[in-house]
Amino acid sequence: MTSDRKLDPILAFLVRLLLRPKVYYAQPEQKGPETEPCIYIANHTSHLDGPLITTALRKAKIHNLAAKDRFEQPSFGFFLRHTGCIPIDRERADTSWIHESIRVLREEKESVCIFPEGRHGSHRQQLPFHPGAAMLAALSGAPLVMVYVDGPVKLCRQSKMIVSAPFRLDPPTAGIDTEYLMGQTQALQSRMKDLMDQFIKTECSPR
């Protein structure tokens, strides 16, 4: 069943008006978001990160993962359900989000975005990544794209991000076990740190 995205045009209008997104690409030959289904991996310092990424990279048709308890809030839940978001239960060992994400990637041929740090408000700092992103990538076989948002994102201030070229996880040599997932998770965190450093250099370089 195709996800309900009827609020996307309204979301896009508000994001462009209030956040004025600016996107840099890590490699000069990149011309825009990937059109093949990808797993986007982003840092997370604000509730506005998801809408910002979805709008700035709209051609990628991204479904954001969002905390399940947010879906239970009347107004916020209505917004999440009608912008293609996928619920994830942070309190329990829930795997339904993995199945739904793989369905979106394979059946709808659209992308998903996961925030492996969880949300925090620290500017240009990282929290340890959770292994969910690596697990989803290993199970789905989909390519990954890193996104660094220079947050916290605030209304009426231009929001900036940098986007990596797509890549894939190193293939497992002994199955998708804990050791493999933790190693790939650490590699993803290192990639995010490198992307953040590249963004800072890009912003500081003369134009």
SS3 115: coil
Please state, in angstroms and rounded to a whole number, the distance separating the CA atoms of residues 184 and 6.
Answer: 36
What pTM, to 2 d.p., does this model score?
Answer: 0.92
Task: Write the pLDDT tens digit of every residue in 111-152.
Answer: 999 999 988 777 788 889 999 999 999 999 999 999 999 988
Mean pLDDT rounded to a whole number for the chain? 90
- Contact of 71 with 77, CB cutoff 8 Å: yes
Averaged over successive runs of 10 residues, the pLDDT of the chain (207 residues) comes to 78 94 90 86 93 94 91 83 88 86 96 91 84 95 96 91 95 91 96 95 71
**What are the helix (H) ranges across 7-81?**
8-18, 49-56, 68-71, 74-81
Output the pLDDT for position 69: 85
Q: Pick the closest to residue 80 from 8, 152, 18 (CA basis).
A: 8
